[in-house]
Structure 1
Amino acid sequence: MDTHRILFVCMGNICRSPTAEGVFRKLVKQRGAENQFEIDSAGTGGWHIGCPADKRAQQAASERDIDLSALRARQVCVADTRYYDSLIAMDNDNRLRLLELADESHQPKVRLLLEYADSPDNLEVPDPYYGGENGFDLTLDLIEDACHKLLDQLLARRLAKRPRSR
């Protein structure tokens, strides 16, 4: 079965999207599904290209056994909109930027992460960059909830597509 390629996207690729990448990687590993997914993250802006994830994001993730230390920021490009099967934005602004980049045929792949959460009051993962330390924990809570549901949905879809043996 083909690998499902998923790209998580926020503004600078140093807080929310690398956190989502790290969370999703951990969940995929826990389910033994590493060979079924290619996981990455990017930002719509280029200010932090090559930089590691924000130290506060790394610390909050580390407290949940999620390692973001190897991740480096990069900027999303048009080729990404063609290559990835799922383009998952953290908020509406970045979703709109992805839609602007993508050809019409690739726009249905663009979704908000919190569309997968149980019953979010808001469909946007708040940007913790300018907030206090607790903002990173809230961001992680929201991302973990939605990533669990996203992975459940993707694995169920992949299972449904499997050819049945006779």
Structure 2
Amino acid sequence: MKLLVICLGNICRSPMGEGALRARLAASPLAGRVEVDSAGTSGWHRGQAPDPRAIACAARHGVDIAGLRARPLQHKDFRHFDYILCADARNLDDARVLAPPDAHDRAVLWLPWAGIAGTSEVPDPWYGDEADFEHSWALLDAAAQATVRRLADTVESGIIGP
């Protein structure tokens, strides 16, 4: 299974989501069996490290995302990844514009896809403060945990190989 986490610039939500998902997968029976990456629907921050506030937030939760670098979502990502996990509806719309017609259903809002009820979007903390980053982290980490549960169920069904 290959998962790509998407936000607008790939410097706040998607690197935090990638970090949370990697950490949750590493601590699960799925360790080493799921590929995870992140990208942004824009190329504004190409090659840049995550926002320092995102790095600090992830670090407070024991996750190091400092080595990640922003990259834009590319057409070839739809051939490589099984799911494009979008942080919000705008990201989903932008991803689907880039997607080949046969891949539209693989671009999804991450929270509902993972089974998180009550909200469908991870708010962008860019203009906020530490509390906004913590709120986004809480949603992303909940999605990461729910994703691991969803994929573990899939593993037992035999869809993901050994």
Is 1:75 the counterpart of 2:84 in the alignment?
no
CA contact (8 A) 2:28 2:148 kept: no
How much has 1:110 moved relative to structure 2?
Answer: 1.1
Q: Give the aligned partner of residue 101 of structure 1.
A: 98
SS in 2 for 1:149: helix
Work out whether residues 24 and 147 of structure 1, in 8 Å CA contact, stay in contact via their aligned partners in 2: yes
**Regions of 4+ moved over 4 Å:** none
Corresponding residue number in structure 1 for 2:2: 5
Residue 45 of structure 1 deviates from its aligned partner by: 0.4
Partner of residue 21 from structure 2, selected from 15, 20, 24: 24
Give the TM-score, by structure 1 length.
0.91
Aligned match of 1:126: 123
SS at match of 2:141: helix
Q: What amino acid does structure 2 have at the position aligned with 1:133?
A: E
SS in 1 for 2:129: coil
Determine if contact 1:43/1:73 at 8 Å carries over to the other structure.
yes
Q: CA deviation at 1:117?
A: 4.5
| TM-score, structure 2 as length reference | 0.94
2:56 aligned partner: 59
Question: Cα deviations across residues 30-89 of structure 1 (Å, max 9, x unaligned)?
Answer: 114232111100001011000000000110110100100110000011000111001000
| Residue 31 (structure 2) aligned to one of 19, 26, 34 | 34
Identical amino acids, percent of aligned pairs = 33
Instruction: Name the aligned partner's letter for residue 99 of structure 1.
Output: R
Contact 1:113 1:147 in 2 (8 A): no
Letter in 1 for 2:123: P
User: How many matched pairs?
Assistant: 159
- Secondary structure, in 3 states, of the residue corresponding to 2:17? helix
Task: Tell me which amino acid in the other structure corresponds to 1:78.
Answer: H
The Cα offsets for residues 124-157 of structure 1, whole Å up to 9 and x where unpaired, read as 1000000111100000001111111111111211
CA contact (8 A) 1:117 1:145 kept: no
Secondary structure class of the residue paired with 2:35: strand
1:25, distance to aligned residue in structure 2 (A)? 0.4
User: Of 108, 126, 139, which residue of structure 2 is paired with 1:111?
Assistant: 108
| Gap runs ≥5 in structure 1 | none
* Distance in 1 between residues matched to 2:146 and 2:130, nearest whole Å: 26
Residue 47 of structure 2, aligned match among 34, 47, 50: 50
Partner in structure 2 of residue 157 of structure 1: 154
